Structure 1
Amino acid sequence: MDKIKSFEDLNCWKTARELRKEISILILKFPSHEKFELISQMRRASRSVTHNIAEGYGRFHFKENAQFCRISRGSLYELSDQLITALDEGYIEEDYYKKLKIKVVECIAILNGYIKYLTSATQTQ
């Protein structure tokens, strides 16, 4: 981890950023009546993931950083449910849902690895 100089160097942030950009493009295709509903919720959840990783990184304490990463993980699960809603409402096709679901699961796995690292670093302090 010595090559990490910014939150932008974290793989969990990079992966979440790519997902966030994909969600931003996706929600442009949703019906306008979802503007203050699902569109807003998906935008906020996808942004929350990267925002909380960045904020946690800036705390400089392993415990606090891990807590913000747990919040990010919660936002990923929220986004996962919102994708199911989009599928159920017919806003996305099954194949595209599955592709995005894989990306969400990948983000969760990478984030879990980082949380594990932070937790073990806390125990060695």
Structure 2
Amino acid sequence: MNNFENLEIWKLAREICNDVWFFMQNTSLEKDYSLKNQMNASSGSIMDNIAEGFERNGNKEFIQFLSVAKASCGELRSQLYRCMDRKHIAKEEFDSVFSKTIMEGKKIGAFMAYLKKSERKGSKYD
């Protein structure tokens, strides 16, 4: 694994970002500027923190950035509720993206646990 684009957790984060973008472009969320901006930021935070943490080349820093990414999954889940409650998206659309954020949080958590136990501490320590 030599770049973050190969990480399964980054690929899923990108998919979630694209789902949020779809809502922003194709639903009434487009006019709910505050919520739209918050959802864009939190979904982007998942993706971006995985990438930035990976590029730090050290497990301890990577775990810290993964923790932020995982927290952003929770933030986005809360925003998805608001999005559905305000009738911007249907229950089926909510369920689809919500389940992806649950899966993403679990995958990030499992990866963090793996990194904590790993003997390899990152390429910056080679």
Provide TM-score, normalisation by structure 2: 0.89
CA spacing shift, 1:56–1:32, aligned 2, 3 Å: closer
Q: Please give the per-residue CA displacement for 1:22-51, whole angstroms capped at 9, x wherever unaligned.
A: 11111222345412x000000000101010
Aligned residues: 120
The separation in 1 between residues aligned to 2:62 and 2:30, in whole angstroms, is 37
Asked if 1 retains the 8 angstrom alpha-carbon contact of 2:10 and 2:47, the reply is yes
Task: Say whether residues 1:61 and 2:63 are aligned partners.
Answer: no
The separation in 2 between residues aligned to 1:103 and 1:31, in whole angstroms, is 19
Alpha-carbon RMSD: 1.4
Runs of 4+ in 1 over 4 A off after TM superposition: none
- More helix by proportion, 1 or 2? 2
Partner of residue 8, structure 1: 5
Alignment equivalent of 1:71, drawn from 68, 71, 92 = 68
Provide TM-score, normalisation by structure 1: 0.89
Percent sequence identity over aligned pairs: 28
Residue segments in structure 2 that go unaligned for 5+ positions in a row? 122-126
- Shift of residue 63, structure 1, vs aligned partner: 0.7
The separation in 2 between residues aligned to 1:96 and 1:22, in whole angstroms, is 9
The separation in 2 between residues aligned to 1:54 and 1:32, in whole angstroms, is 27
